[in-house]
Structure 1
Amino acid sequence: MRRLAYAVLVLAVRGRRERGGDWGEAILAEFAETTGDREAVRWAAGGLRVMWHERRARRRELPRIVRIRRRVVLIVLIGLAVGLVVNRFVLTVGYVDNGSMETTYLIGDRYVVDLVAFRLTGVRRGDVVELNRPGTDRLLIKRVIGLPGDTVECRGGGVWLNGAPLDEPYLSPDPEYTRMEDCTATTVPPHQLYLLGDHRIVSEDSRKYGPVDEGALHGRVLLRL
């Protein structure tokens, strides 16, 4: 314990230098006179407090412009670190590179994706989600139509959910975007989702590759930028 306390005190006094300041070296010399672990730890703690106050005093002696620059650099570095964490683990921005979600999302649009909360709350019918296209690493956005246990069918130019026509106010009123061919009724298996694009004529979605595993979702789209 005494050796550890001494090592910590030396690091505080000298850092990477061969010798520290006068106050610090005096504290190290006095430490050498201590006996026993308890006394050594108390002396080291007192020495650390003295060194902390000494360093604060030295900082105050720096020119004001130097102190301001250091603070600005620190704030920028902290901001960058927080931004990287948020972008990697909490929120990110996506880019629309095809017309399968027109007219809700147009080619060239950017959108914000929630990477975390949707895993806790789950997704709901009508949510727009980002996912890896089955069999590729390409990211797509589609709309959740059917949840596990739902039966989805396309007939009469529209979508039927559990035997009733599905109200879809988010779709374009222009039939050139929403007209669709009939498709076989599909009951969504556990832990899967039935997804469609809003531009029903051009979208490749669950009508082609079937329900998608929930684990394929990358995030839930929150808003368009």
Structure 2
Amino acid sequence: MSWVRRLARGMLVVAVRGRRERGGEWGEAVLAEFGETRGDLEAVRWAAGGVRTVWRERRRRVRALPLYDRIARHALTGALVAAGAGLLVNQFVLSVRMMPSGSMEPTLRVSDRFLVDKAGFRLTGLHRGDIVVLAGPGGSERVKRVIGLPGDHIECRAGHVWRDGVAVDEPYLPGNPAEDRTECAPTTVPPGHLFVLGDHRVVSTDSRQDGPAREDDVLARVLTPLRLAGAG
């Protein structure tokens, strides 16, 4: 038996029986006559027709069930589809992270949960002011704010950040002159890199110490904190 015929028969067996030892009457009849087919093309056509037959047979069985059982089946199917879709979204699109340190206070506090976009930013690109999740050493993650994009010239004057000769407006800083003060060496952000800082400059380790971060290390973009109503 050729590999095409084996594959066609295997597909038909799965459709007819699934995990059971025996399938429905129509499906078993189609399966029993599979051996009468001649050639690969006829085998594939027979298997495809058998799958359609099994599908119609199962629909008839479902329609014959009491209304409550049909509703329960539909609900279970919907729940499984929703769970699968949720897993895919969590893996590839949206996810929830927890803030590991105080380097982004007061925007994100230690143990704050926040929603991140893991795919959209790759299409739209990153912008100045975005908060991003960066891959760190040993599988760790760092959360920082994008201050400079490739080509931007970043420097610090009198404790303030300047970008391309213009002072950067930073309303997200703690609001304490001692904590807001930023010192950094002048640098021009190279291609494929980002100049990132933590909002809590006193405790944050960022591009001031480590140099510009690689764009390839960006895992996600922060969308919004997830805080309970009334939380400070």
TM norm structure 1: 0.81
2:177 to 162, 175, 178: 175
What is the Cα-based RMSD across aligned positions, in Å?
3.2
Shift in Å, 1:86: 0.6
AA aligned to 1:197 is G
Q: 1:77 is matched with which residue?
A: 80
Judge conservation of contact 2:12–2:47 (CA < 8 Å) in 1. Answer: no
AA aligned to 2:172 is Y
User: Counterparts of 1:174 and 1:8 in 2: how far apart (Å)?
Assistant: 70
User: Counterparts of 1:165 and 1:87 in 2: how far apart (Å)?
Assistant: 38
123-132 or 170-179, which moves further after superposition?
A: 170-179
Show CA shifts across 1:40-98 (max 9, x none). 98887776655544332221222322222222221111111111111111111111121
Larger radius of gyration: 1
Shift in Å, 1:29: 8.2
Matches within 5 A, 1:119-138: 119-133=122-136, 135-138=137-140
Shift in Å, 1:137: 2.2
Percent of aligned pairs with the same amino acid: 50
Show CA shifts across 1:133-178 (max 9, x none). 3x34211111111111111112201101112211222223322431
Can you give the 5+ residue segments of structure 1 that lack an aligned partner in the other structure? none
Judge conservation of contact 1:13–1:20 (CA < 8 Å) in 2. Answer: no
AA aligned to 1:108 is S
Aligned residue pair count: 222
User: Counterparts of 2:113 and 2:147 in 1: how far apart (Å)?
Assistant: 22
1:159 aligns with 2:150: no
Secondary structure, counterpart of 2:139 in structure 1 = coil
User: Counterparts of 2:33 and 2:181 in 1: how far apart (Å)?
Assistant: 87
Judge conservation of contact 1:102–1:177 (CA < 8 Å) in 2. Answer: no
Shift in Å, 1:218: 0.7
Secondary structure, counterpart of 1:183 in structure 2 = coil
Q: 1:206 is matched with which residue?
A: 207
| CA distance 1:115–1:17, shift in 2 (3 Å) | same
1:104 aligns with 2:86: no
Q: 1:185 is matched with which residue?
A: 186
1:140 to 142, 155, 158: 142
